[in-house]
Amino acid sequence: MLPSSTVENYLKAIYVGETHLVGGQKLVPMGQLASALGIAPGTATTMVKALAESGLVTYEPYNGVRLTSAGEKLAARVLRRHRLIELFLVQVMGMNWDEVHEDAEQMEHVVSDRLIERIDEMLGRPEFDPHGDPIPNAEGQLAERALESLLTCPLNTPVTVARVTDQDAAFLRFIESHHLKPGQTIEVEERDEVSDSVRLKGKDDQRMTIGARAASKLLVSSRA
């Protein structure tokens, strides 16, 4: 019995939820899962109990949920599809990086393994999607990189934008129009706690100031 689209979405949400865990956290809270999926909290509880029943997750009431190895394997597979499809739509179909998320969100559940393999091959076994998100390989492993956000990277040092952790179309268009897409080289010139902002030197030494919240979504690698 193959997992439904709903189950796949749950597993994927738990997977990315786990990567966002801070400190000694081992479980994704129910509330976070529910809001990530845009469903009522009670629905998440019911569904997660069913997932636990089928051995895809471990569920600790009032604490949260985490994937079993079986669940993680499935989740990585869905995430792999999602990101390969996104890259395909940009690279081959010429779509914009701000409009591929919705399509991928649906297609990830229906494309055959055969087609995914074609796509992967056609793209040259890519490791990252258009937003810099890592693409799990066929075995579910993903290439990890040591990245810092614009809030923590060294000042006045060339860094390369590597990842944008927000799929919002308006935000992505903003990033693009300011030449801050992955691959671009920039420098953080100043951070101001009081004004909650970060000043950047971008392409052609263009200066710009963005809010800390936006800055936290831009991940860079410290090698120019």
Partner DNA sequence: ATTATAATTTTGATTGCTCAAAATCACTTG
Partner DNA sequence: CAAGTGATTTTGAGCAATCAAAATTATAAT
Contact call for residue 94 and a second copy (CB under 8 A):
yes
Tell me how far CA of residue 132 lies from CA of 66, 83, 183, 218, 220, in angstroms: 25, 10, 9, 10, 10
Q: Closer to Mn ion by CB, 110 or 194: give it.
A: 110
Contact call for residue 119 and a second copy (CB under 8 A):
yes
The answer to whether residues 51 and 30 touch, using CB atoms and an 8 Å cutoff, is no
For Cα atoms 108, 109, 110, give the angle at the middle one, nearest 5 degrees. 100
CB of 65 to DNA, least distance (A): 8
Contact call for residue 41 and DNA (CB under 7 A):
yes
Among 16, 29, 103, 151, binds DNA (CB under 7 A): 29
Contact call for residue 39 and DNA (CB under 7 A):
yes
Contact call for residue 47 and DNA (CB under 7 A):
yes
Q: Closer to a second copy by CB, 3 or 134: give it.
A: 3
Residue whose C-alpha is closest to residue 183's, from 214, 145, 221: 221
Among 89, 135, 142, 150, binds a second copy (CB under 8 A): 89
| Choices 33-41, 103-111, 135-143, 205-213; region in contact with DNA by CB under 7 A | 33-41
